[in-house]
Amino acid sequence: MSSPLLETVGLRKAFGALVATDGVDFDVREGETHAVIGPNGAGKTTFIKQLSGELQPDTGSVRFAGEDITRLPPQRRSRKGLARSFQITSIFHDFSTLDNVALAIQAYAGHSFRFWRAAREDASLIQPAMQLLKQVGLEGKAQVLATKLSHGEHRQLEIAMALATRPRLLLLDEPVAGMGTDESARMVKFLETLKGSKTIVLVEHDMDAVFSLADRISVLVYGRIVATGTPAEIRANAEVRAAYLGEEG
Amino acid sequence: MRPAPRTWVLAGLLLLLAAVPPLAAWLDQPFYLDLLRRVMIFAIAATSLNLILGYGGMVSFGHAAYLGIGAYAVGVLGFYGIHDGWLQWSVAIGASALVALAIGAVSVRTSGIYFIMITLAFTQMLYYLGISIEEYGGDDGMRLASRSQFSGLIDLADPAAFYYVVLAILALFLYLTRRLVDSRFGRALQAARSNEARARAIGFSPYPYRLAAFVISGAMCGLAGALLVNHTLYLTPEFMNWTRSGELMFMVILGGIGTTAGPLLGAAALLLLEDLLQGWSLLPKAVTEHWQLYLGVILVLVVLHAKRGLAGLIPGKNE
Amino acid sequence: MNLILIAEQTLNGLQLGVTLFLIAAGLTLVFGIMNLVNLAHGALYMVGAYLGTFFFQQTGSWPLAVALALAGSMLVGVVTEVVALRTLYERDHLDQVLATFGLILFFNELVAMLWGRAAIFSTIPEYLSGHVQIAGGLSYPLYRLVIIGIGLAVALLLWWVVARTRLGMLIRAGASNRPMVAALGVNIRLLYTVVFGFGAALAGLAGLLVGPVYSVQPGMGELILIQVFVVIVIGGIGSIRGAFAGALIVGMVDTLGRAFLKPTLATVLSPTAADAAGPALASMLIYLLMAVVLAFRPAGLFRAVR
């Protein structure tokens, strides 16, 4: 078995007396979709932030494609191929939908010290951006101001922006959060099209989405991973059922 | 792409401004030439501030420093007998850029309240420096030995010629700023203002772009300072006073923050308002004598109730 | 350069330091708790100075004048907060800067309307004037010692209030978690007004104390406010401890720098060079200090009120 694309070794993060991440060993293989679930307050967001670079662990390391990225800030990890979508929608509200994606493409293309050519007429930005919007189903809203999109459309835009940087690994923080049944079904179908070609780490509460998409599931409780396995294995795991799935019924 | 109504209004204003010298001569009212030239010089300064404030979201309270540096570049060189305009104005721009780089390198890393206070503090430092150098007049300031000379090309002593030079520079800077804002560089800057965390997440590091914008902005304002001292023929550290910085910020806000036409509209509005409050014969003496009181109240009301400024009254590109 | 001169300037530095602290304390609390950039804080200092001068002239009793001026400053502060500043809490910093800038113009002109543009003469009572003999042959003005004493006493009082009382606890809580404090049923509006009034009183105290030492004129607030900003940046926004440390540092560096930089330079440079560079460099000293501190500690020396 080849070495994992992303792994954490002994990751630990404490906020004063509160230990949010308690010695987490975690690995993701290339091409797999690995879901992280756990009750509220289990430390999922803290964990994701350490993967994306917004938080630095106290001890332990994060390795990506064999390289230690523990001290790298988010913008550097993005360049290495690790992209994140946000749980609480974080987009550029005063830009159009198309421009949001174009910005992500622009960021990926290298430095932006180009002072003369108008970005909105730059085909090398516009075309790929439209492609991505088509992929997530938002091409009809290209010129709409991002802040005017519906909640579900915001989530779609989030993913489009994450994809714009051609990541090897996608960190999806609750992609179907706040969506109705139809919308989440659509989102799940879309994410299925990404399976295999992209490695995905998925943090989610929605069990339908998790069980349809995940190749493996890790369960995070009080900052520790208590179980890792295929969906079937996790379903059958009594400890997990008691601690977590039991609440969901 | 059809230009937005705002662009037409701006173009119209510039054309109107171009018509002023012959009109003023015909009506024998040189006062207006003088007044509008001053408005345009401040519009240039406000345009430079709009770049970092309006588009970059950087609340720099120290912009008047560059007016001062540009002015002193011209004044000090003139003091030593160097009157060549090309050299003077190049030094004005270069020195401002350098100082902006130095101040920016330290301040741009910070944000929010810190950034405001730090830019303010550094400007005051320059102000006190200006006051303490007795050679160049200390806090009394000094007369300009002679206007910048552009031998053979243009005589700045001719009011109309000088007026057109200022107008040309204003138009040029408005155009350059527009191009800058629409470019990838401008986009990166605006993205950092719009959502800094997201900008980082997709791969932008805000610092280099903000610093570059800060330097460009300072350099532009330095040229405005060179123009200003040629206009006033007198040089004092008051050019760099922080209240001047506040005035520049108000011009940007009054005109409409983050718009191209805003700085010009704002400069005109604020300067004309100040002149009006100080000298309009229809106002009672109680008002004109203490005009700053009323100006202060008006400014507070504008901030509280009219955020979008004058340009906000005219539809722009996205509306 | 002798020891007496050094001692004298050190005391002067201490006096400037406590003055800066009184102004900085209120301002840093307002920054830290209400997230409000208040450029008009210097105006409250000015109001204190004018009221102090006015009431002493009218009543002839210094303690009474101090009490009245303090009350007056607090009142002006509270009225300003209720009328003009409340709406600014929700707004962004740019709006706050501009609105309070407008307030500065307003206050400076108001004071000019009432008392004229020229500096007014502020006196101290007989029993506070005169000099005190300090060990070593230094003869130092009594009044300045009084300022230092009052300043240190207030610092102590502030520490006690913030660390030991319920109000202080609310202040600390409000600094770190505003919504939570509101959710607990505390009247946030009232708390803010109290904090602001408190800060206004402190600034007013500084003004009435140093009025006789510096000059009382329109615009005096802004002159000292910039130094207060440097204090807060160095000390750390929201931290009273930081304001105290920063104020003493700035007070000392500025005073000692102005007094001793030129003669110190003269030992290594020519007299004319020292003459030119000395005052210029001295006036820049605290800003250079600020830049250095920022290079290593971008958020200042101390963290916010804990």
pLDDT at residue number C305: 52
Query: Which residues in C lie closer than 8 A to residue B131 (C-beta atoms)?
Result: 283
Residue B197 has pLDDT above 50, yes or no: yes
B–C: how many Cβ contacts below 8 A? Answer: 119
Residue C136 has pLDDT above 90, yes or no: no
* Mean pLDDT for all residues in chain A: 86
Query: If you ran DSSP here, which 8-state letter would residue A145 be given?
Result: B
Identify the residue with better confidence: B100 or A138: B100
Residue B318 has pLDDT above 50, yes or no: no
Percent of chain B with pLDDT over 70: 96
pLDDT at residue number B184: 92
Compute how many other C-beta atoms are within 10 angstroms of the C-beta atom of residue B136.
16
**Tokens 């609750």 correspond to what residue?**
A174
Cα separations in angstroms, A55 against A12, A45, A58, A168, A238? 11, 10, 9, 21, 33
pLDDT at residue number C228: 93
| pLDDT tens-digit map of A82-116 | 888 877 778 898 899 999 999 999 988 888 888 88
Residue A247 has pLDDT above 60, yes or no: no
Whether residue A134 lies inside any domain: the answer is: no
- The strand ranges marked E within chain C are 131-134, 138-141
Section A147-170 average pLDDT: 87
Residue A248 has pLDDT above 70, yes or no: no
pLDDT at residue number A116: 84
Q: Return d(Cα A203, Cα B182) in angstroms, integer.
A: 37
Residue B235 has pLDDT above 60, yes or no: yes
Section A11-18 average pLDDT: 87
Give the model's confidence band at C306: pLDDT under 50 very low, under 70 low, under 90 confident, else very high.
very low
Residues in Cβ contact with A39 at an 8 Å cutoff, skipping those fewer than 6 apart: A221, A243, A244, A247
| pLDDT tens-digit map of A189-214 | 888 888 878 899 988 888 888 888 89
Q: What is the gyration radius of the CA atoms in chain B, in angstroms?
A: 19
Q: Three-class SS string for B92-103? A: HHHHHHHHHHHH
Query: Which residues in B lie closer than 8 A to residue A145 (C-beta atoms)?
Result: 318
Whether residue A131 lies inside any domain: the answer is: no
Instruction: Test C276 with B134 for CB contact under 8 angstroms.
Output: yes
Compute how many other C-beta atoms are within 10 angstroms of the C-beta atom of residue C169.
14
Section B186-205 average pLDDT: 88
Whether residue A196 lies inside any domain: the answer is: yes
Q: What is the domain count for chain A?
A: 1
Query: Do the Cβ atoms of B161 and B155 come closer than 8 Å?
Result: yes
CATH, residue A220: 3.40.50.300
Query: Do the Cβ atoms of C77 and C199 come closer than 8 Å?
Result: yes
Whether residue A151 lies inside any domain: the answer is: no
- Cα angle C213, C214, C220; round to 5: 150
Section A63-92 average pLDDT: 85
Section C77-87 average pLDDT: 90
DSSP state string for B21-73 = HHHHHHHT-HHHHHHHHHHHHHHHHHHHHHIIIIIT----TTTHHHHHHHHHH
pLDDT at residue number B124: 85
Interface of B with C (CB under 8 A): 53, 59, 61, 106-107, 109-110, 112-114, 116-118, 120-122, 124-125, 128-129, 131-135, 242-243, 246, 249-250, 253, 257, 290, 292-293, 295-300, 303-304, 307
Strand partners, A68: A63
DSSP state string for C33-51 = HH----TTHHHHHHHHHHH
Q: Return d(Cα B164, Cα B21) in angstroms, integer.
A: 9
Percent of chain A with pLDDT over 70: 96
Q: Which of A75, A97, A148 should we substitute to test contact with B (largest number of B Cβ atoms within 10 Å)?
A: A75
* Mean pLDDT for all residues in chain B: 87
Section A7-36 average pLDDT: 89
**Partner residue opposite C280 with nearest CB, options B122, B132, B296:** B132
Residues in Cβ contact with B181 at an 8 Å cutoff, skipping those fewer than 6 apart: B51, B55, B190, B260
Residue C95 has pLDDT above 90, yes or no: no
**Partner residue opposite A106 with nearest CB, options B187, B201, B212:** B187
Burial label for C4, CB within 10 Å (0-12, 13-18, 19+), is: middle
Cα separations in angstroms, B145 against B27, B78, B80, B223, C95? 32, 6, 9, 18, 41
**Partner residue opposite A112 with nearest CB, options B182, B200, B209:** B209
C269: Cα separation from own chain's centroid: 35
| pLDDT tens-digit map of B79-88 | 888 888 899 9
Structural domain boundaries enclosing A223: 6-81+167-248
pLDDT at residue number B319: 40
| pLDDT tens-digit map of A124-158 | 889 999 998 888 888 888 899 988 888 888 888 88
Residue A2 has pLDDT above 70, yes or no: no
Q: In chain A, how long is the greatest CA-to-CA distance?
A: 63
Structure tokens at C150: 């009052």
Strand partners, A12: A22, A59
Section C289-302 average pLDDT: 82
Compute how many other C-beta atoms are within 10 angstroms of the C-beta atom of residue A113.
12
Whether residue A72 lies inside any domain: the answer is: yes
Chain C nearest CA to B296, separation (Å): 4
Q: Three-class SS string for B124-181? A: HHHHHHHHHCHHHCCCCCEECCCCCEECCCECCCCHHHHHHHHHHHHHHHHHHHHHHH
Whether residue A133 lies inside any domain: the answer is: no
pLDDT at residue number A249: 44
Query: Do the Cβ atoms of B93 and B70 come closer than 8 Å?
Result: yes
Query: Which residues in A lie closer than 8 A to residue B179 (C-beta atoms)?
Result: 115-116, 118
pLDDT at residue number C132: 86
Structure tokens at B119: 């830019």
Domain boundaries along the sequence of chain B: 19-241
Sheet with A224-229, strands from edge to edge, namely: A82-85, A169-173, A199-203, A33-37, A216-221, A224-229
Instruction: Test B180 with A115 for CB contact under 8 angstroms.
Output: yes
| pLDDT tens-digit map of B141-169 | 888 878 888 877 888 888 888 999 999 99
In this prediction, the answer to ipTM > 0.85 reads: no
Residue B170 has pLDDT above 90, yes or no: yes
Q: Return d(Cα B162, Cα B65) in angstroms, integer.
A: 24
A–B: how many Cβ contacts below 8 A? Answer: 95
Section C126-152 average pLDDT: 87
Residue B9 has pLDDT above 70, yes or no: yes
Whether residue A223 lies inside any domain: the answer is: yes
Section B137-142 average pLDDT: 80
Give the model's confidence band at C51: pLDDT under 50 very low, under 70 low, under 90 confident, else very high.
very high
Q: In chain C, how long is the greatest CA-to-CA distance?
A: 67
Of the given ranges (B192-201, B215-224, C75-84), which has the lowest mean pLDDT? B192-201
